[in-house]
Amino acid sequence: MDLIAGVDEAGRGPLAGPVCAAAVILDPARPIVGIGDSKKLSPARRERLEPLIREQALAWSIAWASVEEIDRLNILQATLLAMRRAVESLRLRPIKVLIDGNRYPELDIAAEAIVGGDGLVPAIGAASILAKVARDRFMVELDAKCPGYGFAKHKGYPTREHLEAIDRLGPCRWHRYSFAPLVNFDRCG
């Protein structure tokens, strides 16, 4: 069987937290109904689909790029790094990788970028769901470690509540200092 992996990320736009990427090789004999772009699915729907994807996929992997890597490399390069890590961590080797977006990481496997791929290719949609659920869970856990920022609610995105918390508390070690409005703060922690 020719194995095709779908890859997507979650967390490019937030001011805090790592970026997460997932790679998924779906089993054509076990289709999963309801997979699509994670941003268009409710959190409850993503939570219902996530264990099905993990259970029914032929292979899946989740990988991260840290806040420090984001600040050192830039968000695009850190995202590509997380994607490469996810592909390289698959327990099965695909013959091709389909990636949501207009760029893909350097791989030793054939790759293709597909704009809007998370809504077009089920394996990319599955990766989108795994990455989004994993990152959201991380940010909920981070909220307990760094109270006051509201990470569980906004997941690190630049909401009014988050910006007000940064003004009030200053940034924490999980903030991306290379992102405006954090570039003028000294790195803490």
Taking the CB of residue 48, how many other CB atoms lie within 10 A of it? 13
33: nearest Cα among 57, 49, 11, 14: 49
Q: Find out whether 106 and 84 touch, Cβ atoms under 8 Å.
A: yes
- Chain-centroid distance of CA 29 in Å reads 26
Radius of gyration of the chain (CA): 17
186 is in an annotated binding site: no
64: nearest Cα among 86, 47, 46: 86
Question: What are the residues whose beta carbons fall under 8 Å from the beta carbon of 137, sequence distance 6 or more?
Answer: none
DSSP assignment, residue 94? Answer: -
8 is in an annotated binding site: yes
Which residues does the annotation place in the binding site for a divalent metal cation? Answer: 8-9, 100
Which residues does the annotation place in the binding site? Answer: 8-9, 100
